C-alpha cells in the first residue's frame, strides 16, 4: 500500500477493532517513514522523535549503513540452527567484550531486553544455588516471567502470583524521597540500608541476585545517586549475591559514557544490554565473567532458544558499535545532553510548573508539577503539553501512571545535532507558552 492509498478512517477502524490490547494508548498519527531523528506521518508532517523509537534507534532511524548491513547480511545468511555459529556473531562478541572491562568476558545474544534479563536472573540462580531476586520499586526489566516479577513500576496486578522469591527495595529518588539529612539533602544511604534491613527480614536465606537500572527510565528517569551502585555491590557481596545491571536504555553511549556503570565505579557480575545495541532491531546481550560462565556450565545451566546468536541482528550490532566509536557519538551524547539539560533548566526560570530536570547524557526527565513546594504531580497538564508538543512537531514520551504521570522521558538518537537540540527546545518553549498562556 502506498502513502496515497492509505485511508485514515479505514486504518483506525482496523487498528481499533483488530489489534489486541497490550497496554498502549496509540498516538493518533499514521507513521509511514522514519529517517535520522525524525518520523513522518501520512500527511507529510515531520516529527522530531525524542523517544528514538522505543528508546532504541541509537544512531538514528533508517541509518543508511544499518540498512545496507541488513540487506547485505540477509542476502547471504538469514537463520541457522541455534547450535551453529556465524561470522557476525563472533565479530560482535569480540567487539563488544573489547569495549568492556575484565570481568565481562562472555556474551550470549538474544532478542529482547526481557529475554536477556531472564537469562541473567536464571544464570544467577544457577550459579549461586539460591532463588530470591531483589529489584527496585520503580524498575522495569521486561514482561517475561522472572523479568516481570522484578518489574515493580507497573504490570503486577490481575494475573495471580509473581515468581516466588521476588523482593523489593525502595527506588532512590532524590526529588521525592522522605529520607533526608538535617540540611534537607537526600540521604540515599540510610534509605538503602533501611531497605536491606527489610529484605533481610523477608528473605528465607536464599538471596541470589539484585537487578538494577543505572537510570530508572520508566520510573521517571531516576538516576542512581553517586556512590549508590558501589554500596549496592557491598550489600550483594555481604550476602553472597550477584549484581545484575540492566542497561537496556543506558548502554552503548546513551549516557555520555559507553556504558552507564562506568560512571558509577562498579563492574557488575552480569550486564544486560538490548534496545540501543540493535538500533531498533531485536537484539539483546547478557555478558558475564569467565568464572561465572564456567560455574554455570558445571551446574548444567540451560537457556537454549530459537533465536540465540542470530546472525542478522548480530551484524547490525557490529555496525552500531562501529558507528558509535567512529563518529565519536559518546562525546556527542554528553555534549548534546548538557545542551538540552541546560536549556530545560533555563526554561524552569519562566515556568514554575517544571518541578525537576533529570539529565545524564541524552536521557532526560522533565517533571511537571502543580506546585513546586508540594511537588504534586500534574499529569493532566503534562498530557496537554504532550499533545501540544506533538502538534508542534515533537514526540516526547510521557509516562502516564499515577506516581509519575507528569514526567516526560526523552532520549533522542545520540547522533542528534546541536541545531536539532535547539529546534526541540524551541518547540518545547512554544508549547509551554501555549499551555500556560
Average of pLDDT values for 218-222? 92
Q: Look at residue 398 in the predicted model and tell me its pLDDT.
A: 77
Closest CA relative to residue 124, chosen from 216, 257, 14, 236: 236
Correct CATH for 3-59+329-435 of 2.60.120.10, 3.40.190.10, 3.30.70.260, 3.90.1150.10: 3.90.1150.10
| 3-59+329-435 and 67-326 in the same fold | no
The Cα angle at residue 69 between residues 64 and 70, in degrees rounded to 5 = 100
Q: Look at residue 5 in the predicted model and tell me its pLDDT.
A: 77
Average of pLDDT values for 217-225? 94
Mean pLDDT of the chain: 95
Closest CA relative to residue 105, chosen from 300, 354, 285: 285
- Catalytic annotation on 375? no
Residue 404 has pLDDT above 70, yes or no: no
- Catalytic annotation on 140? yes
Query: Active-site residue among 233, 239, 275, 336?
Result: 275
Minimum mean pLDDT range among 224-233, 404-413, 424-433: 404-413
Place of cell 575484565: 102
- Catalytic annotation on 106? no
Query: Active-site residue among 115, 140, 187, 358?
Result: 140
**How far is it, in rounded angstroms, from Cα 305 to Cα 302?**
9
Minimum mean pLDDT range among 111-120, 148-157, 253-262, 333-342: 148-157
Model confidence at 401, in pLDDT bands (50, 70, 90)? low
Secondary structure E strands in 140-224: 166-169, 207-212, 215-216, 222-223
- Report the CATH architecture of 67-326: 3-Layer(aba) Sandwich (3.40)
Residue 142 has pLDDT above 60, yes or no: yes
Q: Look at residue 154 in the predicted model and tell me its pLDDT.
A: 85
Closest CA relative to residue 269, chosen from 198, 331, 208: 208
CB 82 within 8 Å of CB 315: no
Residue 265 has pLDDT above 80, yes or no: yes
Residues 64-120: tens digit of each pLDDT: 999 999 999 999 999 999 999 999 999 999 999 999 999 999 999 999 999 999 999
- Catalytic annotation on 262? no
Higher-confidence position of 97 and 155: 97
Model confidence at 402, in pLDDT bands (50, 70, 90)? low
For residue 351, count other CB atoms closer than 10 A to its CB: 15
Residues 35-65: tens digit of each pLDDT: 999 999 999 999 999 999 999 999 999 999 9
Where do the domains of the chain lie? 3-59+329-435, 67-326
- Catalytic annotation on 359? no
- Catalytic annotation on 246? yes
**How far is it, in rounded angstroms, from Cα 6 to Cα 15?**
13
Query: Active-site residue among 122, 132, 239, 249?
Result: 249
CB 32 within 8 Å of CB 6: yes
Query: Active-site residue among 132, 187, 191, 213?
Result: 213
Model confidence at 149, in pLDDT bands (50, 70, 90)? very high
The Cα angle at residue 37 between residues 31 and 41, in degrees rounded to 5 = 20
Q: Let me know how long the chain is.
A: 437
Query: Active-site residue among 246, 247, 367, 420?
Result: 246
Model confidence at 1, in pLDDT bands (50, 70, 90)? low
Q: Look at residue 155 in the predicted model and tell me its pLDDT.
A: 85
Q: Look at residue 24 in the predicted model and tell me its pLDDT.
A: 81
Closest CA relative to residue 284, chosen from 241, 255, 256, 252: 252
Percent of the chain with pLDDT over 90: 92
Residue 245 has pLDDT above 70, yes or no: yes
Amino acid at each position: 500500500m502506498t502513502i496515497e492509498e492509505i485511508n485514515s478512517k479505514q486504518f483506525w477502524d482496523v487498528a481499533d477493532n483488530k489489534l489486541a490490547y497490550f497496554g498502549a494508548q496509540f498516538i493518533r498519527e499514521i507513521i509511514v517513514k522514519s529517517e535520522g531523528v525524525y518520523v513522518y506521518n501520512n500527511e507529510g508532517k515531520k516529527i522530531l522523535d525524542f523517544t528514538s523509537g522505543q528508546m532504541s534507534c541509537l544512531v538514528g532511524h533508517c541509518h543508511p549503513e544499518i540498512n545496507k548491513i541488513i540487506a547485505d547480511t540477509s542476502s547471504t545468511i538469514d537463520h541457522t540452527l541455534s547450535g551453529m555459529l556465524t561470522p557476525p556473531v563472533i565479530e560482535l562478541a569480540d567487539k563488544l567484550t573489547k569495549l568492556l572491562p575484565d570481568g565481562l568476558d562472555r556474551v550470549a545474544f538474544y532478542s529482547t531486553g526481557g529475554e536477556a534479563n531472564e537469562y541473567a536472573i536464571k544464570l544467577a540462580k544457577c550459579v549461586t544455588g539460591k532463588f530470591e531476586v531483589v529489584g527496585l520499586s520503580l524498575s522495569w526489566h521486561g514482561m517475561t516471567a522472572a523479568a516481570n516479577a522484578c518489574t515493580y513500576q507497573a504490570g503486577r496486578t490481575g494475573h495471580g502470583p509473581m515468581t516466588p522469591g521476588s523482593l523489593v527495595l525502595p527506588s532512590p529518588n532524590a526529588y521525592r524521597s522522605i529520607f533526608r539529612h538535617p540540611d534537607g539533602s537526600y540521604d540515599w544511604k540510610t534509605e538503602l540500608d533501611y531497605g536491606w534491613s527489610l529484605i533481610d527480614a523477608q528473605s528465607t536465606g536464599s538471596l541470589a541476585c539484585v537487578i538494577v537500572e543505572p537510570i530508572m527510565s520508566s520510573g521517571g528517569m531516576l538516576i542512581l545517586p553517586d556512590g549508590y551502585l558501589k554500596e549496592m555491590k557491598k550489600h550483594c557481596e555481604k550476602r553472597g549475591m550477584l549484581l545484575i545491571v540492566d542497561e537496556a536504555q543506558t548502554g552503548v553511549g546513551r549516557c555520555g559514557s559507553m556504558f552507564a556503570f562506568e560512571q558509577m565505579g562498579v563492574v557488575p557480575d552480569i550486564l544486560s544490554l538490548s534496545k540501543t545495541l540493535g538500533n531498533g532491531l531485536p537484539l539483546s546481550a547478557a555478558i558475564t565473567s569467565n568464572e561465572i560462565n564456567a560455574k554455570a556450565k558445571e551446574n548444567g545451566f540451560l537457556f537454549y532458544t530459537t533465536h540465540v546468536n542470530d546472525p542478522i541482528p548480530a551484524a547490525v550490532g557490529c555496525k552500531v558499535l562501529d558507528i558509535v566509536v567512529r563518529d565519536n557519538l559518546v562525546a556527542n551524547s554528553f555534549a548534546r545532553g548538557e545542551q538540552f539539560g541546560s536549556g530545560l533548566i533555563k526554561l524552569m526560570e519562566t515556568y514554575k510548573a517544571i518541578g525537576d530536570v533529570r539529565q545524564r547524557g541524552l536521557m532526560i526527565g522533565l517533571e511537571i508539577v502543580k506546585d513546586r513546594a508540594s511537588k504534586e504531580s500534574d499529569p493532566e497538564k503534562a498530557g496537554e503539553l504532550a499533545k501540544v508538543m506533538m502538534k508542534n512537531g515533537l514526540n516526547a514520551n510521557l509516562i502516564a501512571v499515577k506516581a509519575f504521570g507528569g514526567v516526560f522521558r526523552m532520549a533522542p538518537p545520540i547522533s542528534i545535532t546541536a541545531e536539532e537540540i535547539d529546534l526541540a527546545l524551541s518547540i518545547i518553549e512554544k508549547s509551554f507558552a501555549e499551555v500556560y498562556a
